[in-house]
């Protein structure tokens, strides 16, 4: 069964460093998403991406964040200068279409900022 994959599974970084989280969505999906979950808190929407453009973003997704689809298979989330409060589980998701179509989630990348 096709699945969303994410790398790395864990990343530890120093405050102020740049990190890139990588995702490979399901191959025929057109819509891509990033969510994060701070330990013990809700899953929070960050950004959705379609046709090489951001289609929606939350207040969390400020200038420190960016997304890119550098090739036909990868979807990345970059955090330019990490803060302690960026420590969280980051989930990538993809879907064939919008609205009631299923968003398939990857296993997540656990980011720890020291």
Partner 1 sequence: TQLLEQSPQFLSIQEGENLTVYCNSSSVFSSLQWYRQEPGEGPVLLVTVVTGGEVKKLKRLTFQFGDARKDSSLHITAAQPGDTGLYLCAGVNNAGNMLTFGGGTRLMVKP
List contacts with partner 1 (CB under 8 A).
4, 31, 33, 35, 41-45, 48, 50, 55-56, 58, 91, 93, 97-108
Please give the span between the terminal C-alpha atoms of the chain, in angstroms, as a whole number. Answer: 37
Minimum distance of partner 1 from residue 68's CB (angstroms): 18
Adjacent-strand bridge partners of 62: none
**Is 43 or 114 the residue whose CB approaches partner 1 more closely?**
43
Residue 91 CA to residue 33 CA, distance in Å, equals 8
Minimum distance of partner 1 from residue 73's CB (angstroms): 19
């Amino acid at each position: 069964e096709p699945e969303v994959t994410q790398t790395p599974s864990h990343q530890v970084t120093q405050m102020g460093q740049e990190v890139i989280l990588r995702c490979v969505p399901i191959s025929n999906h057109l819509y891509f998403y990033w969510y994060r979950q701070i330990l013990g808190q809700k899953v929070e929407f960050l950004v959705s991406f379609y046709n090489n453009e951001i289609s929606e973003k939350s207040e969390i997704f400020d200038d420190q964040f960016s997304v890119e689809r550098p090739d036909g298979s990868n979807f990345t989330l970059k955090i330019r200068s990490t803060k302690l409060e960026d420590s969280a589980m980051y989930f990538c998701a993809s879907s064939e279409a919008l609205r009631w179509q299923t968003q398939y989630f990857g296993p997540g990348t656990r980011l720890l900022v020291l």
